[in-house]
Each structure stands twice: as C-alpha cells, then as structure tokens.
Amino acid sequence: MTLELGEATGRLVVAAILSGFIGFEREVAQKAAGLRTHMLVGLGAAVFSLLSVEAFAGSDPARVAAQVVTGIGFLGAGAIFRHGFTVRGLTTAAGLWSVAAVGMAAGIGEWQIAVLATAVSVVVLYVVGVVQWLVRGRRDEATTVIVIRMSDPAVVSDASEAARRLVEPGGDVIIHEIAADKASIQVTVEPKLADAIMVRLRALTGVERVTRVDG
C-alpha cells in the first residue's frame, strides 16, 4: 500500500465526520437509520474506495466502486417500508445513498467533492425541509390515514369533495379505488384531528365504513 497511514486515516475520519453531518438530521428526526448508521456507511464506502485504488495494483477501481453503489442500493431499499397506504423511509434511503457517495469521494482523496456534496446534502435536509414545512402549512404532520369505503361508486365524487372540505387545508383526499360494486377514498389528516373527522365522515351520504389505517 503506497498511501501513508496518516493520509489513509485522515480520509477515513473525514468520511465519517462528513457523513455524520448528513446523518445528524435523521437522528434528530428519530429515524431507524440515524447518526451512527450514516457514519458507518460513509466510512465503509471510504474504505472500499481507498482499497480499490491502493490495495489492488493494476486492477480497475471502478469495479469496486460499482459494487459499493449496488450494495448501498440494497441497504437503502431496506430503509423503505410501506405502512398502510403510506410509504416511509425514502429520505433516509436517499441520505444513505448520499453518504456513500461522500465516503467514496473522501476515500479516494477528493476532498473538495466530498465537502461540497456534504454541504449540498445538509442544505437539502435542513433548509429545504424548513421551506417545505412553511409552504405546505405543516402538511407533513398529517400522518393519520383514514379509509372511507362505499358500495356505490356513483357517490364517490360527492363524498370526496365533502371529505376534502372537512380536512383542508391540513389534510388530503385521494380516490383510492373504484370498481363496479365498491369504491374507497383515502383521507390523510393530522393525528389530533383524526377522531373528530372520522365521526363526520361516517355521516356522509353513501359511506358504509370508515377505518383508521395509520395513526
């Protein structure tokens, strides 16, 4: 290995620290893949990248890098899950993908790229997240899903409009299913309003059943 031990150590430490900046937001948000997970992913990507360049003389470093990218794809997919009608973990998976890229950049000594990628990721997670929160009117808090089921598809349009008036501006209404003899509407509301809204939804014309799926 031609690289000095001090230089190699610096690359690995920097990879872990930069990945930690990205993972800290996920830790604050109390996600399963938090600070330590992001730091270890960044560190691991840096080690693989460093070894691909330094330890395998005459080989193609891109082959190891490609395998790192593939492996992180599987790891990110494990962070995504569906709960009821809600898909969660997409941002966490994207964060893991980003820290792997940062780790790879640090591992091969591309400091500027690693720092720049970290800075952009932090802006996306923190600044853009705040902007989304302001623009959406805290819509992200609307995490309770209510499903309205009807046997007559003809009443779906009227029922969805009535439901929309009940949950706006903090919630959302989606026509989930329409068939010959049944239909369903998915209503997303803030958890603290769910019970009261369910009572009012049951009173809508044509509604047979109202179910709280995600709370």
Question: Which of 195, 24, 40 shows the shortest CA–CA distance to 103?
Answer: 40
Buried b (16+ CB within 10 A) or exposed e, 16-37: bebbbbbbbbbeeeebebbbeb
Q: Is this model's pTM higher than 0.85 or not?
A: no
Contacts of the segment 189-194: beta carbons below 8 A, 24+ positions apart: 189/142, 189/144, 189/146, 190/141, 190/142, 190/143, 190/144, 191/141, 191/143, 191/144, 191/215, 193/167, 194/144, 194/146
Cβ 117 vs Cβ 169: under 8 Å: no
91 or 140, higher pLDDT: 91
- 3-state class of 119 per DSSP? helix
C-alpha atoms less than 13 angstroms from C-alpha of 214 in its C-beta half-sphere: 17
For the chain, the structural domain boundaries read 5-135, 139-214
Q: What share of the chain is helix, strand, coil (3-state, %, to 5)?
A: 65, 15, 20
Give whole-number Cα distances, 5 to 8, 11, 109, 124, in Å: 5, 10, 13, 34
Q: Which helix (H) or strand (E) holds 146?
A: strand 144-150
Q: Residue 79's pLDDT is what?
A: 67
pLDDT tens sequence across 17-76: 999 999 888 888 777 678 898 999 999 999 999 888 877 766 777 877 788 888 887 777
Q: Residue 85's pLDDT is what?
A: 47
Q: Residue 135's pLDDT is what?
A: 63
Q: What is the CATH number of domain 139-214?
A: 3.30.70.120
- Is the pLDDT reported for residue 208 higher than 80? yes
The predicted model gives 202-213 an average pLDDT of: 81
